[in-house]
Amino acid sequence: MKKKSRSSRQRLQNGGHLISVPDWLRVTPASKGEYRQALVAVVSDFKRSGLDAASMDRLQVVPLTAKQALELVDRIKPRDDDFYEGFDYCGWVIPYHGLNGQQIENHACLRLLGAEDDEELEQYDLRKYMQFDPSARSYEDADWSPRFYLPPMVDWVKIADDVSVDIYFTEGEKNR
């Protein structure tokens, strides 16, 4: 019998929703149980904003376990070994896209879940939403240029060519 290999693009099918950890994120794959737990929290967070699992797929949201979220946090804000002791927040990542719909490899947003408010995360010098550069190996290598969030399901090239289309800018990738 051929042994299945574990890749960094591990998948889990849960109620028709496919969870993938894309290679560009560079986090350690997690167990199915950990993924299920993270998925429940992420779907709940999106439901509060009136979005469903299909919306998450179209936006290319990547649910993260607490261990994976900690890996990213430690890359975004590296600290001493015991600084993040007690960190237990799962989350999700949403990649940013250019006008052509292609993912911008050096810009994404991490959302941490499970904290009652921002004050709870202040002990780690963190916020609920954090922009970061997934292509960077370290904080010093990161490209911190500001970006507009352009949802990938919109034809931005067509809109950019049509001056009659109004564009409204808001803060955040989703509300609530």
Residue 3 falls inside a structural domain: no
**What is the CB neighbour count within 10 angstroms for residue 69?**
25
- pLDDT on residue 33: 87
Residue 88 falls inside a structural domain: yes
- CA–CA separation, 12 vs 147, rounded Å? 31
Q: What is the mean pLDDT of residues 23-41?
A: 85
Q: How many domains does the chain have?
A: 1
Residue 28 falls inside a structural domain: yes
Q: Is the dihedral of CA 51, 171, 147, 24 positive or negative?
A: negative
Residue 22 falls inside a structural domain: yes
SS3 100: coil
Contact of 115 with 122, CB cutoff 8 Å: no
- pLDDT on residue 20: 54
On the 0-12 / 13-18 / 19+ scale of CB atoms within 10 A, 75 is buried
Q: Render pLDDT for 62-99 as a digit per residue (tens, 0 to 9).
A: 999 999 999 988 888 888 888 999 899 999 999 888 88
Domain boundaries, position 95: 11-161
Q: What is the mean pLDDT of residues 46-58?
A: 89
pLDDT at 13 > cutoff 50? no
Q: Which two tokens stand for residue 138?
A: 């370290």
- pLDDT on residue 172: 66
Residue 170 falls inside a structural domain: no
Residue 25 falls inside a structural domain: yes
Q: What is the mean pLDDT of residues 148-161?
A: 90
Q: Render pLDDT for 117-153 as a digit per residue (tens, 0 to 9).
A: 778 888 888 888 888 887 777 667 777 777 888 888 8
Q: Which two tokens stand for residue 15?
A: 């109620």
